[in-house]
Structure 1
Amino acid sequence: MTDLLTPVLSANWGEDNSWKLSRYEATGGYRAMRKALEMKPEDVITLVKDAQLRGRGGAGFPTGMKWSFVPQDNPNPKYLVVNADESEPGTCKDMPLMMASPHTLVEGIIISSYAINGHTSFIYCRGEVLHVIRRLQQAVREAYAAGYLGKNILGTGYDLDIIVHAGAGAYICGEETALLDSLEGRRGQPRLRPPFPAVAGLYASPTVINNVESIASVPAILANGSDWFQSMGTEKSKGFTLYSLSGHVKNAGQFEAPMGITLRQLIDLAGGVREGHELKFFTPGGSSTPILTGESLDVPLDYEAMAAAGTMLGTKALQIFDETTSIVRTTLRFVEFYKHESCGKCTPCREGTWWLVQLLMKFEAGTAQEGDVDKLLDICDNIGGRSFCALADGAVACVTSAVKHFRSEFEQGYHTPAWELFPYEKSSLFTEEGDAR
């Protein structure tokens, strides 16, 4: 592994007015775009394939391969849609990136759209983050004014329009087909596949859907080459990425590091777990990924190692919980979120998450009955793998992994409230006066 920190996407975040076009160009911005427009589209795809860039939104699917699935003989328009609907609990990497350096994303969109022969691209952004939406809109306006967007970009004959679209704040729209339905003006609900978006996506046309960080990583690959990108990371998980650290650490934030760094190293970079406490458990990629305990501190944070550990890298949202935290309460809060955000399309998710919440509330209150832990797992068994999308699977992962590691703590819910075993004020990050503990 190379150095612990590899500032590429975040290299300019600390500069004054880093979001402005003039500052971005002064640090080499849009040179990669110029290079790409001098190449054949298929050569751009080959370069990204050779770099082995994998999707940074959760699944880790090879980005260049996804682009190559777009059928070029289809007469319909080809679309690129950027999934900026960041709403996985604990995840906070795309929003800071778009706030600090929106032109990195815009340049990545131009290169990626050119690669798939697309002429219209969309950025689907979470509606609540109005400040991010305004910054994106400003960056797009600047790019049009500079001739980087619109008709005949830089005299190359290539045309491209970018549309910034504000979602309505539904977590389900982070699922790519629900996002497409929302973008088309319908209620956001997952579609049955096949057909897949690459063949029949937005407006029944070939569509590529990528995460913000995936597309923002493309300009650096074009500028520096595939070998440079492959020099970072692990054997099968190449390059740099943004890790979000939150919870019971001294200095929470985003850390850009090579794929395969360990949580122990990240916690050290964050100044350690808060004073006088020790790690109890953590989520490796947001609340929808199975939790891990301190035994996994030295497991590489890459796709393969996380899968071997029985979890997923997901969005790399590392929520850190110390020994003052009630696993019962945490699991309940996670599942309440998924119950609320279920679109209601499929029965196992709509009804199952509701029943999980009812049962978990009993565990929290200390009124659960003997055998309720097994009942909890049985409900999970009737939800997981039986829904249109992965939302239900995420809700199940919260529960099953929590029971796997802390079954005895759930069994204490047969007679003792969680708030007596783990007083909630002890795990709070702030005092009543608002000062950090």
Structure 2
Amino acid sequence: MKLLTRQDLQKERVNAINKIKKQNCRILICAGTGCLAGGSEKIYNKLKEMAKEVEGVTLEFAKEAAHVGVHPSGCHGFCEMGPLVRIEPWNYLYIKVKEEDCEEIFQKTVLRGEPVEHLMYHQEDNVYQEQESIPFYAKQTRLVLKNCGHINAEDIDEYIAAGGYEALEKALFEMKPDDVIAQITESNLRGRGGGGFQTGYKWKQVARQQEKIRYVVCNGDEGDPGAFMDRSVMEGDPHKMLEGMAIAAYAVGAQEGYIYVRAEYPLAIKRLKMAIKQAEEFGLLGEDILGSGFNFTIHINRGAGAFVCGEGSALTASIEGERGMPRTKPPRTVEQGLFAKPTVLNNVETYANVPMIITNGASWYHEIGTQGSPGTKAFAITGSVNNTGLIEVPMGTTLREIVYDIGGGVKNDAAFKAVQIGGPSGGCLVSDNLDVKLDFDSLTKLGAMIGSGGLVVMDEGTCMVEVARFFMNFTQNESCGKCVPCREGTKRMLEILERIVAGNGTLEDLDLLEELGEAITATSLCGLGKSAALPVLSTLKNFRKEYEEHVVDKRCRTGNCQAMIRFIIQPEACKGCSKCARNCPVNAISGKVKEPFVINTETCIKCGACIDNCPFGAIYTEN
């Protein structure tokens, strides 16, 4: 059904709202990637089948005929507790649901309106029935993620009913392109892909170019380990991103847009394709949108998973069919981007902010977050924290609030050690930084960055040298190789770190790591190269003593660096049975029968066979 005018869209919104109101019970099953991996598709199919059987039956709680809606939603965010099922109008949230729970859910909740308490979130003696009352959600401000988990991710009518495409309608019929740019500029929306560049200024630069062919590009590549914010928006609320892109296109005079999304996100690609097709059928994408004379089409390009394609010029080169490699600047993307034409390039979360700014105004947006970084930020919180998942908080929220109030604290009540923020391009925040506000400017002063929003929490059992080695290994593997500082510098840094965790490092290596890191930061071609050394430099700054223990004492205090573990036989406990020596694969154990045996630490490969075969518990490890 094509909507030809603004009035048609308004009528469709009324129809969509009424359609939802007819469902006196709505079941929203999390169908994000995480919950699907946990079996939520089986739960959806089971509940869908059961709903068909009761359609038209009188409901006990409502005394009226049943109209039960069973819908696949996007990610609810509380990934630690998936698969998740939300049931309205009571807003019950059931956690860790299994297929065999469906019968009880249907009999008690759907037919009688009663809660199934053993499937609800418990904390100490509290049972949280409503989703919004759970501490994980209560401490958040979900704006970009507002619809995720609350609407059918595959139905455009549900998005329209939730206020979708109101902003596009307002922009097309009540604002000029310059007004849109002025609104975004006044809001001070900063790019959520990592750089924090002012979105309105970027749009203004594209709009003022002499070249009339312009493009709008969305970066949905999201290559940071542990990050899944953009993926969740594309899976759970794809129309919000499409609407933001369409508004950007109207503002800068573009008629074509491209979404660059990694091939490892098949569900996101599937739902984006569905959303684009639905929007085209409704006349919200394509020719003469709502009779306004504005034309805009969107294409999807799948990336092959190269981390460097998160950089703007590498991304546009990849869309063009070239090898994804950064180029020297100027000219910048806003001047010569995709196909050498002026290009607006923002990430998924940035575009998802646009509709609500146009609808509510720049002053409303400034009421959220900080003066220099208004709005909210979505974070993927993972690692050694009790509540892992996807969260959204106002800019300026402290790390303590995220880790302890929303994340529920460090696992097993262990001591907090650090957070790696911003993925491999970010840096470490330590316990002294727990009360630092998380916004663009505050983190820059600490030598860290928000990045795309990954937060990996680490406890006292984490080796920070190994953390630095892990991220440097990732960065070195993902280097495109175009510039010498990144290509060769990251390789040398990785070799040094591997030498250190193998127990062969020296104090000179620490000085060399700093020297290399600073050189790479200063001279690399692109932003990814310039931030490649940040994990190493920040851990060196905050945990230098731990590095020194590795190179001087040949000791890893956490026991994570296998090469530094020493296997020792206690002479007083050893009976000289020789079982350890007979089972050692490298003949590292010697001695005489009925006398204490000895392990040659130089030969020992730390396989643990000696401990497994010692009947007297005479062998122990020392970090």
Once superposed, which parts of structure 1, at least 4 consecutive aligned residues long, lie more than 4 Å away? 415-420
Q: CA contact under 8 A between 2:380 and 2:454: conserved in structure 1?
A: yes
Pairing partner for 1:193 from 329, 335, 342: 329
Q: 2-side partners of 1:312 and 1:411: how far apart? A: 26
**TM-score, normalising length: structure 2:** 0.66
List aligned pairs for 1:24-39, cutoff 5 A.
24-38=159-173, 39=175
Structure 1, 309-318 or 261-270: larger mean CA deviation: 309-318
Pairing partner for 1:178 from 314, 322, 331: 314
Matched, 1:135 2:291: no
Classify the secondary structure of the residue corresponding to 1:166.
strand
Unpaired segments ≥5 residues, structure 2: 1-137, 563-623
2:519 aligned partner, one-letter code: N
Q: 1-side partners of 2:320 and 2:267: how far apart? A: 24
Q: CA contact under 8 A between 1:120 and 1:160: conserved in structure 2?
A: yes
- Per-residue CA deviations over 1:150-176 (Å, capped at 9, x if unaligned) read 111111111111001101110000000
Where does residue 102 of structure 2 map in the other structure? none
Where does residue 435 of structure 1 map in the other structure? none
Classify the secondary structure of the residue corresponding to 1:287.
helix
1:80–1:382 distance in 2 versus 1, CA, 3 Å? same
Q: 2-side partners of 1:140 and 1:14: how far apart? A: 20
Cα shift at 1:74: 1.9
Which one scores higher on RCO, CA 8 angstroms, separation ≥ 6? 1
Q: 2-side partners of 1:155 and 1:97: how far apart? A: 29
Cα shift at 1:331: 0.6
1:215 aligned partner, one-letter code: Y
Matched, 1:63 2:199: yes
Matched, 1:11 2:146: yes
Q: 2-side partners of 1:292 and 1:393: how far apart? A: 19
1:71–1:101 distance in 2 versus 1, CA, 3 Å? closer
**TM-score, normalising length: structure 1:** 0.93
List aligned pairs for 1:381-400, cutoff 5 A.
381-400=518-537
Classify the secondary structure of the residue corresponding to 1:261.
coil
List aligned pairs for 1:404-419, cutoff 5 A.
404-414=541-551
Where does residue 317 of structure 1 map in the other structure? 454
Structure 1, 312-321 or 197-206: larger mean CA deviation: 312-321
- Per-residue CA deviations over 1:317-370 (Å, capped at 9, x if unaligned) read 211110000011111010000110000001111111111111111111111124
Q: 2-side partners of 1:198 and 1:16: how far apart? A: 35
Q: 2-side partners of 1:348 and 1:114: how far apart? A: 40
Q: 1-side partners of 2:151 and 2:287: how far apart? A: 31
Structure 1, 7-16 or 273-282: larger mean CA deviation: 7-16
Structure 1, 43-52 or 406-415: larger mean CA deviation: 406-415
Where does residue 304 of structure 1 map in the other structure? 441
- Per-residue CA deviations over 1:181-236 (Å, capped at 9, x if unaligned) read 11111001101101111111111111111111111100011111111111101121
Pairing partner for 1:259 from 395, 398, 413: 395
- Per-residue CA deviations over 1:105-125 (Å, capped at 9, x if unaligned) read 011111111011100000000
Q: CA contact under 8 A between 1:363 and 1:418: conserved in structure 2?
A: no
Where does residue 374 of structure 1 map in the other structure? 511
1:35–1:422 distance in 2 versus 1, CA, 3 Å? same
- Per-residue CA deviations over 1:269-309 (Å, capped at 9, x if unaligned) read 11111122011111232231121101000000011211222
Classify the secondary structure of the residue corresponding to 1:332.
helix
Q: 1-side partners of 2:561 and 2:508: how far apart? A: 26
- Per-residue CA deviations over 1:387-423 (Å, capped at 9, x if unaligned) read 1112222221111111111112112222566667424
Q: 2-side partners of 1:420 and 1:259: how far apart? A: 35
Structure 1, 63-72 or 309-318: larger mean CA deviation: 309-318
Classify the secondary structure of the residue corresponding to 1:34.
helix
Classify the secondary structure of the residue corresponding to 2:257.
strand
1:345 aligned partner, one-letter code: K
List aligned pairs for 1:277-288, cutoff 5 A.
277-288=414-425
Pairing partner for 1:228 from 337, 350, 364: 364
Where does residue 54 of structure 1 map in the other structure? 190
Classify the secondary structure of the residue corresponding to 1:125.
strand
Q: 1-side partners of 2:251 and 2:208: how far apart? A: 11
Q: 2-side partners of 1:317 and 1:238: how far apart? A: 19
Pairing partner for 2:540 from 383, 392, 403: 403
1:308–1:387 distance in 2 versus 1, CA, 3 Å? closer
Q: 2-side partners of 1:92 and 1:389: how far apart? A: 23
Q: 1-side partners of 2:301 and 2:331: how far apart? A: 24
Where does residue 10 of structure 2 map in the other structure? none
